[in-house]
């Protein structure tokens, strides 16, 4: 199996604190790879270096075999690196469908035939309706984002990220703040994408991690403790001590 993401020796220091300490890991093409670790372990710092919001102090990042370590966030998106939009980036006064239309337009940007604006607009809305139809949010198409529940907003974040047609999707705590039913829906939604898009999933909800992850990497104090299957992670004494609580 080839790797969609290869991270080698990634380091990020904040003053005297080493938030990611020589981290190397690989996400295989098609895999759902979970990244777990206690609060402050460096998970978000790692994600932010991958998407280009934070410049690493050392190390190398490759997406599909091509180095992207120094590429801008926008260039990484164009090369197929997606991340969930944060809820704060949703346009609250716009409807679900309008938010999705804007995300599709952002992706299609350069490819739109500007001499045919009507045709371009029609194809954007057709795609928006198709994507909504495949999601659990179709009935909410005309609803302003401000009127969505927290769980619906998390669903919309995912739909918008997918509209970028990523090869690798970075997910930083997609279950955060979700109730049981909403978590189950999110797990089902992500499971439905298995094989279509590779994922690096940061998540505290271990039920979700064990339900989704093909492999799991454990980060502790900025260092990668181990990578393995759910079984291997559960069995490992160091992981139990550092994270799973004995
Ligand atoms: P996690 O997502 O695993 O909870 P973070 O990556 O957010 O961990 O943080 C890792 C460590 O780096 C923490 O000690 C945090 O306080 C520190 N940190 C994160 N971002 C910054 C920053 N911008 N400036 C200074 N310290 C930071
Ligand atoms: Mg975090």
Q: Which atom of ligand 1 is nearest to the CA of 41?
A: 3
Query: What domain range includes position 99?
Result: 87-165
Residues 49, 84, 73, CA angle at the centre, nearest 5°? 40
Note whether 75 and 99 are same-domain residues.
no
* pLDDT tens readout for residues 146-195: 999 999 999 999 999 999 999 999 998 999 999 999 999 999 999 999 99
**One domain, residues 73 and 103:** no
191 is a domain residue: yes
Is the predicted pLDDT of residue 26 greater than 70, yes or no? yes
Are 103 and 160 in a shared domain? yes
Secondary structure (DSSP) of 193-225: TTTTSEEEEE-S-HHHHHHH-SEEEEEETTEEE
Mean pLDDT score, 188-214: 95
The total domain count for the chain is 2
| Assigned domain for 65 exists | yes
Q: Does residue 45 form part of some domain? A: yes
CB-ligand 1 contact for 43 (6 Å cutoff): yes
For residue range 90-119, what is the model confidence (pLDDT) as tens digits?
A: 899 999 999 999 999 888 775 555 567 777
Residue 205 lies in a domain: no
Q: What is the pLDDT of residue 241?
A: 82
Question: What is the atom index within ligand 1 of the atom nearest the CA of 54?
Answer: 23
pTM score above 0.90 = yes
Mean of the per-residue pLDDT values of the chain: 92
50 close to ligand 1 (CB < 6 Angstrom): no
pLDDT tens profile 117-141:
777 888 899 999 999 999 989 999 9
CA–centroid distance, 215 to ligand 2, in Å, is 19
Domain match, 73 and 191 both: yes
For residues 68 and 190, membership in a common domain is answered with: yes
Q: Where are the alpha helices (DSSP H) in the chain?
A: 43-51, 73-78, 96-108, 117-134, 150-163, 180-192, 206-212, 230-235, 237-239
């Amino acid at each position: 199996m080839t790797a969609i993401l290869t991270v080698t020796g990634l380091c990020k220091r904040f003053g005297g604190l080493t938030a990611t300490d020589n981290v190397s890991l690989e996400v295989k093409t098609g895999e759902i790879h979970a990244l777990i670790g206690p609060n402050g372990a460096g998970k978000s710092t790692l994600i932010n270096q991958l998407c280009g919001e934070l410049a690493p102090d050392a190390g190398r990042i490759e997406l599909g075999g091509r180095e992207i370590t120094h590429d801008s966030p926008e260039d990484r998106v164009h090369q197929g690196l997606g991340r969930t939009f944060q809820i704060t980036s949703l346009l609250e006064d716009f409807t679900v469908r309008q938010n999705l239309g804007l995300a599709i337009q952002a992706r299609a940007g350069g490819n739109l035939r500007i001499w045919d604006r009507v045709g371009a607009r029609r194809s954007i809305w057709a795609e928006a309706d198709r994507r909504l139809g495949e999601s659990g949010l179709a009935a909410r198409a005309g609803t302003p984002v401000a009127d969505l529940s927290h769980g619906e907003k998390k669903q919309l974040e995912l739909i918008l990220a997918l509209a970028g047609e990523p090869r690798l999707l970075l997910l930083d705590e997609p279950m955060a703040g979700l109730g049981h039913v909403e978590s189950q829906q999110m797990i089902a939604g992500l499971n439905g994408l298995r094989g279509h898009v590779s994922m690096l999933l940061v998540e505290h909800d271990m039920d979700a991690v064990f339900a989704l992850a093909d492999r799991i990497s454990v980060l502790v104090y900025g260092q990668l403790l181990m990578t393995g299957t759910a079984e291997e992670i559960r069995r490992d004494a160091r992981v139990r001590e550092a994270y799973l609580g004995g």
